Amino acid sequence: MQPLTATDPRRVGPYRLLYRLGEGGMGRVYLGRSPGGRTVALKVVHAQIAGDAGFRLRFAREVRAARSLGGAGTVPVLDADPEAEVPWLATAYVPGPALSDAVIGHGPLPEEALWRLFSGLARALAGVHGAGLVHRDVKPSNVLLSQAGPLLIDFGIARSADGTVLTGTGLVVGSPGYMSPEQAEGRTAGPAADVFSLGAVLAFAATGRGPFGGGSVAELLYRLVHHEPDLDGVGGPFGELARRCLAKRPEDRPPVAELVAAAGARAGTGPWLPAPVVAAIAQKAEELLNAEAEEPEEEGAEERPVREPASGAVSAAASGPDGVTTLAPPPRAPRTPPPTAVLPGRPPAGQDRDRARDRARAASSAAPFRREDAVRSLTTGLGRPLYGLFFLVPVVALLVGGFDLLDRAARFPSESERPSAAHDWAVHDAWWRFPVALLLVGAMVWLEVYRKRLTTVAPGRVRLWSAGIGLYWIALIAGTALHVAWVVIVQEDMPYEAGTHPLMWVALPVAVIGAAVSPFLLIASVLRIAKA
C-alpha cells in the first residue's frame, strides 16, 4: 500500500480513499472505506481515457460481467458507476498476494497447494462459463491467494461465450504467454480458451516459469501456436491434467466440469498455503489494520446513548473508523454557556470554522481536476507534437529529392572556378541531413506517446515534458531552416536548364512558409510553457 499523492482524489462516489494499491494502463486501484465501514478495493479509470466512448462501453461490460457472477472463486462487486465522469468499480478487498507475486517471492507451490489452486480455479471458471461468459485473461496476476482458496479477478476483457459479435477477426486479446492459440491467431475464443490459460497458470505455479518461456510478444505468440509447452518438473496426475489443458486444438482440451471433478477429488480442505505465503497474507492484514488505525476520524462522529451495565447512567459512545466503540464518562449536569457576542453581519465563529473546513475539503477534492485541466490546456495547440508534421513532411520530401539534386549538382558544377564554402558545405558535407531528420521524427514520436501519461506522472515530469516540447519546436524550426538553406545553395550551383526535382516544387514552398510562421509558433510555445 502506498500513500495518496497530491494527484489522487480523496473520495470516489460514497467511498473515502485511504491508500493506493496499484496502477495499470487502464486505471488505478485504491484501498477505500464505505460509509458503513467496509474496506473495498476501488478501480478508478484514468481520466485521459474516460472520455473514450468505446472504453466506457467496455468498462460497463466489465461491470455487468462481474456483477453476474456470484459463485465461489470470484471477488464480489459491491458498487460501480460506469456513467460517472471518471468511471469506477468497487469490489471486496482481499488481503492476499497475487499468485505471480507469491511464486516469484517464495517459489513454486507444493503439491497439496497446487491441487487446491487447481480445484478453486476450475470451480471459478465453471461459474464464469455457467453465466455465459469467457474470461479470456486468466493469468497469475489475475489470481489472488486467500486463506479460503484462490480467487479469480479482473473481467475487463470478458466476453459473451458465443463470441459472435464482440470478438473481431484478427484481434489479439489476452496476455502473451498465457492466452490460447486461438486468441494468439485472432480467432474466436470460447470456454476452451480459459482451460488452456488455466493449464498455463498451473504450470507457472508448479515451476515458477511460464510454459512457453519469455521473450518478445511475437516470440511468445509464435511458441503458443507452434511449440509444445515446457512442462519439465510438472509430473504425475497433476502434470497430465495440465498437459491436457494445454492442447493446441480447443476440442482436445477437457471440459471444465471434468477438471472440477478430477481436481476436487485430490484437493484437501484444511490450510493449503505454504508458511511464507501465509505470513505475507498476515502482513497485508496487519497493514490493513494499521491503515484503519491511522485513518483520520470523521468530523462530527455520530454519538449515540449507551447504557452502562453498572449504574445505568447514559454516556456518549463514539464509533471510530476501526469499528471499536469508545465509552465516554457519564455527562455532568449541563451548564448554560455564557452568551457569545456576535458582530452584526458576521456569522458565529462555529459557522466560520465549518465554512473554512468545507472550502478546504472542496479544494482537496478539486485538486486532481485542476491538474487535469492544466494538462489538457498544456497539450492543446503546440502541445500536440504531431503538429510538427507540417515541418517534417517537407523535410522528408527534401531528403528524398536531395539524391537527384546532388546528382544534378555533380553533373552541372558551379560556373565559378572557386566554389564557395557554402557550396562545399551543401554538396560535400550533406551527411548531416539524415540524422537531423531522424532525431526530429524520434522526438516527435516520444513526446506524443508520453503526452498521454501526463495526468498520471509527477508534476515535475509535466514541467520537464513542457521544456521538451519547447526544445522540440526550436530544433524543428532550426532543422527546417537548414534544409531550406541546403536546397537553395545546391540549386544556385546549377544552370537553369538543369531543372529541379519535382518534389522540390512542393516541398520547398511549404518549408519556406513554415519557416516564416515559425517565430509566432515559438513565441506561443514559450508562453504556454511559462503558464505550466
Question: For the residues 141-165, what does the mean pLDDT come to?
Answer: 70
Residue 337 is predicted with a pLDDT of 43
Residue 22 is predicted with a pLDDT of 81
Provide the 10 A C-beta neighbour count for residue 408: 18
Q: Which residues on neighbouring strands pair with residue 39, listed in sequence order?
A: 33
> Would 353 be classed as within a structural domain?
no
The Cα–Cα gap between 322 and 328 comes to 17
- The answer on 443 and 384 residing in a single domain is yes
- The answer on 455 and 380 residing in a single domain is yes
Tens digits of per-residue pLDDT, 180-237?
999 888 888 899 999 999 999 999 999 999 999 888 888 888 888 999 999 998 989 9
pLDDT confidence band for 392 (50 / 70 / 90):
confident
Extract the C-alpha cell encoding 400.
Answer: 528524398
Q: How many domains are contained in the chain?
A: 3
Q: What is the CATH number of the domain that holds 133?
A: 1.10.510.10
> Hey, what long-range contacts does 52-61 have (CB within 8 A, 24 or more apart)?
55/26, 56/82, 56/83, 56/87, 58/156, 58/157, 59/87, 59/89, 59/156, 60/87, 61/158, 61/166
Residue 55 is predicted with a pLDDT of 78
Catalytic residues: 137
Find the distance separating the first CA and the last CA of the chain, reported in whole Å.
Answer: 31
Do 516 and 484 meet the contact criterion of CB atoms below 8 Å apart? no
Residue 511 is predicted with a pLDDT of 67
- The answer on 106 and 86 residing in a single domain is no
- The answer on 242 and 151 residing in a single domain is yes
> Hey, what long-range contacts does 453-456 have (CB within 8 A, 24 or more apart)?
454/48, 454/375, 454/378, 454/379, 455/7, 455/46, 455/47, 455/48, 455/371, 455/372, 455/375, 456/7, 456/23, 456/28, 456/46
- 469 vs 171 pLDDT, higher one: 469
Is 414 exposed, middle or buried, given 0-12, 13-18 or 19+ CB atoms closer than 10 A?
middle
- 358 vs 325 pLDDT, higher one: 358
Tens digits of per-residue pLDDT, 343-384?
444 444 444 554 544 444 444 444 444 455 566 666 766 677
- 146 vs 402 pLDDT, higher one: 146
Please report, for residues 115, 119, 229, 231, 407, the alpha-carbon distance to residue 204 in angstroms, rounded to integers and kept in the order given: 13, 16, 11, 9, 61
CA dihedral 143, 147, 148, 152 (to 10 degrees): -10
- The answer on 62 and 108 residing in a single domain is no
Extract the C-alpha cell encoding 310.
Answer: 453498572
Residue 519 is predicted with a pLDDT of 62
Amino acid sitting at position 59: F
Percent of the chain with pLDDT over 90: 20
pLDDT confidence band for 249 (50 / 70 / 90):
very high
DSSP 8-state secondary structure symbol assigned to residue 381: G
- The answer on 197 and 137 residing in a single domain is yes
Half-sphere exposure of 87 (CA within 13 A, CB side): 20
Extract the C-alpha cell encoding 467.
Answer: 521544456
The Cα–Cα gap between 151 and 203 comes to 17
Residue 473 is predicted with a pLDDT of 81
Pick from 76, 93, 110: which residue ends a domain? 93
- 290 vs 188 pLDDT, higher one: 188
Do 88 and 13 meet the contact criterion of CB atoms below 8 Å apart? yes
Residue 118 is predicted with a pLDDT of 95
- The answer on 509 and 397 residing in a single domain is yes
- The answer on 84 and 121 residing in a single domain is no
Q: What is the CATH number of the domain that holds 397?
A: 1.20.140
3-state SS track over 108-177: CCCHHHHHHHHHHHHHHHHHHHHCCEECCCCCHHHEEEECCEEEECCCCCCEECCCCCCCCCCCCCCCCC
* 82 CB-near residues (< 8 Å, 6+ apart): 56, 59, 60, 63, 89
Question: For the residues 484-496, what does the mean pLDDT come to?
Answer: 69
- The answer on 103 and 84 residing in a single domain is no
Q: Choose among 97, 95, 147, 151: nearest CA to 290.
A: 95
Q: Which residue range(s) make up the domain with 124?
A: 99-283
- 417 vs 114 pLDDT, higher one: 114
Residue 306 is predicted with a pLDDT of 36
- The answer on 140 and 210 residing in a single domain is yes
pLDDT confidence band for 271 (50 / 70 / 90):
confident
> Would 310 be classed as within a structural domain?
no
> Would 56 be classed as within a structural domain?
yes
Provide the 10 A C-beta neighbour count for residue 412: 15
Provide the 10 A C-beta neighbour count for residue 294: 11
**Residue whose entry in the numeric block shows the C-alpha cell 479469480:** 152
Pick from 45, 70, 93: which residue ends a domain? 93
Q: What is the CATH number of the domain that holds 71?
A: 3.30.200.20
> Would 333 be classed as within a structural domain?
no
pLDDT over 70 (residue 530): no
Pick from 60, 93, 126: which residue ends a domain? 93
> Would 325 be classed as within a structural domain?
no
Q: Hey, which of 24-33, 38-47, 120-129 has the most confident mean pLDDT?
A: 120-129
pLDDT over 70 (residue 45): yes
Do 323 and 74 meet the contact criterion of CB atoms below 8 Å apart? no
The Cα–Cα gap between 492 and 414 comes to 8
Mean pLDDT (the chain, rounded): 74
Residue 70 is predicted with a pLDDT of 64
Q: Considering the entire predicted model, what is its pTM?
A: 0.53
> Would 265 be classed as within a structural domain?
yes
Extract the C-alpha cell encoding 448.
Answer: 506524443
> Would 83 be classed as within a structural domain?
yes
> Would 332 be classed as within a structural domain?
no
- The answer on 204 and 184 residing in a single domain is yes
The Cα–Cα gap between 191 and 95 comes to 29
Phi, psi for 304 (deg, rounded to 5): -135, 150
Amino acid sitting at position 39: T
- The answer on 104 and 64 residing in a single domain is no
Residue 246 is predicted with a pLDDT of 96
DSSP 8-state secondary structure symbol assigned to residue 337: P
Residue 115 is predicted with a pLDDT of 95
Residue 193 is predicted with a pLDDT of 93
